[in-house]
Amino acid sequence: MRQDFDDLLTKGRAGEKRAVARLISTIEQGGEESRSLLTQLWPHTGQARIFGITGPPGAGKSTLTNALTKCWRASGLRVGIIAVDPTSPFTGGAILGDRVRMGDLTLDKGVFIRSMGTRGQLGGLSPASAGAVHVLDACGYDLILLETVGVGQSEVAVMETADLVLVLNVPGLGDDVQAIKAGILEIGDLFAVNKADRPGADRTANELRAMLELGEEEKRSLPVLLVSASQGTGIEELCAALDAQYQYLDESGELAKRRSLRLRSELLTLVREGIEQHLLQPLLDSPTFQQSLQQFQARKESPYLWAAEFVTQIKIGGSGCELHES
């Protein structure tokens, strides 16, 4: 197995897209193979820049991602794109709308595009997004773009995966307070108003600037750029602004701080998943637990007291099953 992974990694670093796709598929399947692969990949990660692109549905995220990628490719950078799509309720797979809008990039050997389904996950990203980022990083992609499914009030997980976040908006969305409610002002490192050729674009940009002025002090100087991804206007300026913001985060020490917090969050997630798989799931599947559920539903026992006693048993070195055996 290790030799297979080594061969795939070598081919992936050489630009063979099929090898990269197989590595990401292994991550998505989870289990022991996924953990083994990520362990092998880890020493090769930490070099890529990771930019998140988020915004409301219909803001033109895919079209902008397409335009930005072409700009960076002109500089010779290898670009990996993870486009998170809504999960199909029928097949369970991703609805590949993003792949359609970025179809002209598929023949570029220096660009890899992967659509991933949310699979019901809130936060705007797929559960396997972090692992896919590690694969692209290890395979030598200089820049990784994370395009979220679309901002909502809980879809801010991109800030826990990306080095910096570009927040996209468009004129004519209606209630501008939604930008504050969704939390996108807090997660953004750079802001852009797409479809700048439409009426109201200047007004939208000015309203964003005004809202930033009311926010945290470090957000007040953040630029709000006007672009039109479909027309290709303002793209080079946006590329330069993103590069400059990344350099600022690196030189100020903020980038290292964010990556440390990201690693901590990923580690906690791994621990929680291990605890759930090896400790909680066998307990939850047991007949005695089903009996306890019936007691809870009949209001004869308290689930709150049960949970507290379960944690106490774990603290003193038990498995938690003692609650059912007593």
User: Cα–Cα distance between 88 and 325 in angstroms, integer?
Assistant: 43
- Evaluate whether residue 14 is within a structural domain: no
- Domain CATH code at residue 140: 3.40.50.300
**What domain count does the chain have?**
2
CA of residue 118 relative to chain centroid, distance: 10
Do both 103 and 224 map to the same domain? yes
Same domain assignment for residues 126 and 165: yes
Q: What's the pTM?
A: 0.83
* 172 in the same domain as 77: yes
69 and 137 fall within a common domain: yes
**Would you write out the chain's pLDDT as a tens digit for each of its 326 residues?**
666 888 998 999 888 999 999 999 998 888 888 889 999 999 999 999 999 998 887 888 889 999 999 999 999 999 999 988 665 555 555 555 555 556 678 888 999 999 886 554 444 344 578 899 999 999 999 999 998 866 554 456 667 789 999 988 888 765 554 555 456 677 789 999 999 988 989 988 888 888 888 766 666 678 899 999 989 999 999 999 999 999 999 999 999 999 999 899 888 888 888 888 777 888 788 888 888 899 999 999 999 998 888 888 877 765 555 555 54
Last residue of a domain, one of 252, 273, 295: 252
Q: What is the dihedral of CA 273, 278, 283, 284, to 10 degrees?
A: 40
Burial 81-95 (b: 16+ CB within 10 A, else e): bbbbbebeeeeeebb
Integer Cα distance of 118 and 134 in angstroms: 18
Question: Measured between alpha carbons, how far is 62 from 102 in angstroms, rounded to an integer?
Answer: 7
**One domain, residues 136 and 162:** yes
Indicate whether 128 and 266 sit together in one domain: no
Q: Which of 224, 252, 280 is the last residue of a domain?
A: 252
Domain that holds residue 72: 45-252
Q: Is residue 144 part of a domain?
A: yes
Written as six digits, the tokens of 9 are 């990694």
Q: What is the largest CA-CA distance in the chain?
A: 71
Instruction: Kindly state whether residues 182 and 283 are assigned to the same domain.
Output: no
Tell which of 198, 227, 252 closes a domain.
252
